[in-house]
């Protein structure tokens, strides 16, 4: 699903108006109808609704919703924030329609003296500002937003919580704190960042019939991973395939006390479909790994505690994953440099491999083109520097992906995949239960296995992140988020593959 900016959404509205064709007021009626239908289903027994409107088209949506709720015999009070101007044409049209109801309860707010207490159980509808907001709220508007936030009522925002910017950071801004956000047609960038989690609430996308022709032709910078994208990437197995058809992967993982990281990555790699897998580990982990994962071949280092050198010919491997639990010993740092010098196919870099590169920044220039880096926010910061907010971090990830000719997976709730061609993908699967030790090691194994099978680097990142999150969702559904551990993600990987097949 494409994620559109405020300007792109405005253009989509205009395209629909011109090419359906449909009048702007009738398109507003569609948005209000979809919103009202949702409200009626969610709150069939609501004692009353309090609808707060600005004088733009978002406020026009609110007025139309008020009219439709009144037609269903709900008790509705409308509050219009007075800006000293008439408002948009469609706002005025809906205000005139509302005035035709003899019992319409409409209040204009110019100062705090017009603030009213909230009746018990009232559902508050926020229709003050939509996705076109371009500056922070202040003055009487800020006081009204605080009044709403302190109401103790459930709040439903229309389009986007008032005070949030659509496609840049709102960090530090005052905004309505919504329990639910009813947005139209597509996700907005603001919905996908943790810094806005506390104000957007639960997001519901409503289809209002915007013209498909615009969506099909526009090239968006960001996309949300969904079934459509995944089905175009996933390659079903061929009937006459053999283990050699699906690649030989190498995982460089584990050190004394962290052989568990190697086990998790190895199991995940095999479960992701790799035909053959070798794992290079220090000698201390030999018996453990051979016992825990008999399907994997084991290459042991001369060192008993950490990896220092790989004697095997690296060209024999279709993909190499490096990092889970390897530590940052000086000899291991040298090993990473040697791998970069001798292996020019893409590699997967995670955990301590990233920490090593953060301490020796010149290694970044040696990364083979097409490689995949999987930092969490702190690792990203150590590699590429601090960002003032999450929006800036995403843009920096895109810059660095282009500079390094690499894929950067910025891990989080909606993990962000930055590609060298400037496109970015937000993941739609996954849950907080996956915030547990070893989850990243599992992702590294999945990515290494997919890359070995012949998927491109971009395909590997997109499919791997989606499957990782989907398996986590299945595990959470069966086990709960609280009790989930990393190994559960591996256990549900097969079911995740069945769902995308």
Residue 84 is predicted with a pLDDT of: 72
CA distance 108 to 126: 15
Three-state DSSP class for residue 54: coil
Burial (CB count <10 Å: 0-12, 13-18, 19+), residue 312: exposed
CB 468 within 8 A of CB 489: yes
Residue 275, token pair as written in the block:
């035909």
Contacts of 247 (CB under 8 A, 6+ apart): 274, 275, 276, 318, 319, 449, 451, 452, 453, 454
Residue 83 is predicted with a pLDDT of: 80
Residue 388 is predicted with a pLDDT of: 96
Three-state DSSP class for residue 372: strand
Residue 86 is predicted with a pLDDT of: 87
Residue 460, token pair as written in the block:
């590997």
Q: Domains in the chain, ordered, with CATH?
A: 2-220 (3.40.50.10260), 227-500 (3.40.1190.20)
Question: Which residues lie across from 425 on neighbouring strands?
Answer: 223, 417
| 10-residue averages of pLDDT along the chain (501 residues) | 95 97 98 98 98 97 98 97 89 97 94 95 98 93 98 98 96 96 96 95 97 96 96 94 94 98 98 98 98 98 97 96 98 98 96 98 97 97 97 97 98 96 97 98 98 98 98 98 98 98 91
Residue 85 is predicted with a pLDDT of: 80
- pTM (two decimals): 0.95
| Rounded (5°) CA angle 358-364-369 | 140
Nearest Cα to Cα of residue 128 among 31, 52, 190? 52
Three-state secondary structure string covering 269-280:
HHHCCCCEEEEE
Three-state secondary structure string covering 212-244:
HHHHHHCCCCEEECCHHHHHHHCCCCCCCCCHH
CA distance 267 to 493: 11
Contacts of 130 (CB under 8 A, 6+ apart): 56, 57, 58, 61, 158, 159, 160
- H helix or E strand, kind and range, residue 50: strand 49-53
The dihedrals phi and psi of 222, each to the nearest 5 degrees, come to -120, 145
């Amino acid at each position: 699903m494409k994620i559109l900016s405020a300007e792109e959404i405005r253009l989509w509205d205009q395209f629909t108006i011109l090419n359906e064709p449909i009048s702007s007021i009738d398109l507003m009626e569609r948005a209000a109808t979809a919103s009202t239908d949702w409200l009626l289903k969610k709150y069939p027994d609501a004692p009353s609704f309090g609808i707060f409107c600005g004088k733009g088209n978002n406020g026009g949506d609110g007025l139309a919703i008020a009219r439709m709720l009144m037609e269903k015999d709900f008790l509705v009070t409308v509050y219009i924030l007075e800006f000293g101007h008439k408002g948009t044409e469609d706002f005025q049209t809906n205000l005139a329609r509302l005035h035709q109801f003899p019992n319409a309860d409409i209040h204009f707010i110019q100062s705090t003296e017009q603030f009213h207490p909230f009746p018990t159980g009232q559902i508050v509808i926020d229709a003050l500002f939509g996705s076109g907001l371009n500056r922070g709220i202040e003055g009487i508007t800020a006081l009204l937003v605080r009044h709403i936030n302190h109401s103790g009522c459930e709040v439903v925002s229309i389009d986007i919580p008032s005070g949030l910017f659509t496609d840049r950071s709102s960090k530090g801004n005052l905004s309505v704190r919504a329990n639910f956000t009813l947005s139209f047609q597509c996700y907005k960038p603001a919905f996908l960042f943790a810094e806005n989690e506390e104000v957007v609430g639960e997001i519901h996308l409503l289809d209002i019939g915007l013209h498909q022709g615009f969506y099909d032709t526009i090239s968006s910078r960001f996309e949300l991973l969904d079934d459509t994208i995944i089905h175009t990437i996933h390659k079903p197995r061929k009937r006459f395939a053999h283990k050699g058809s699906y690649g030989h992967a190498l995982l460089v993982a584990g050190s004394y006390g962290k052989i568990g990281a190697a086990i998790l990555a190895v199991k995940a790699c095999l479960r992701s479909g790799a035909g053959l897998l070798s794992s290079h580990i220090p000698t201390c982990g030999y018996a453990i790994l051979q016992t825990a994962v008999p399907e994997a071949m084991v290459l042991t280092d001369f060192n008993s505690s950490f990896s220092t050198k790989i004697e095997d010919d690296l060209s024999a491997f279709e993909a190499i994953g490096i990092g889970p639990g390897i530590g940052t010993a000086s000899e291991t740092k040298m090993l990473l440099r040697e791998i970069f010098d001798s292996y020019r196919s893409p590699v997967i870099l995670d955990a301590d491999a990233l920490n090593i590169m953060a301490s020796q920044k010149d290694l970044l220039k040696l990364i083979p083109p097409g490689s995949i880096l999987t930092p969490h926010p702190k690792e990203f910061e150590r590699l590429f520097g601090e960002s003032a907010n999450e929006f800036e971090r995403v843009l920096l990830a895109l810059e660095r992906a282009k500079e390094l000719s690499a894929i950067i997976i910025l891990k989080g709730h909606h993990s962000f995949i930055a590609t060298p061609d400037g496109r970015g993908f937000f993941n739609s699967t996954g849950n907080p239960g996956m915030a547990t030790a070893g989850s990243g090691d599992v992702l590294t194994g999945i990515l290494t296995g997919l890359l070995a099978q012949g998927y491109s680097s971009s395909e590997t990142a997109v499919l791997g992140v989606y499957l990782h999150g989907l398996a986590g969702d299945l595990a959470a559904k069966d086990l709960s988020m609280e009790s989930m551990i990393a190994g559960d993600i591996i256990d549900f990987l097969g079911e995740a593959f069945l769902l995308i097949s």
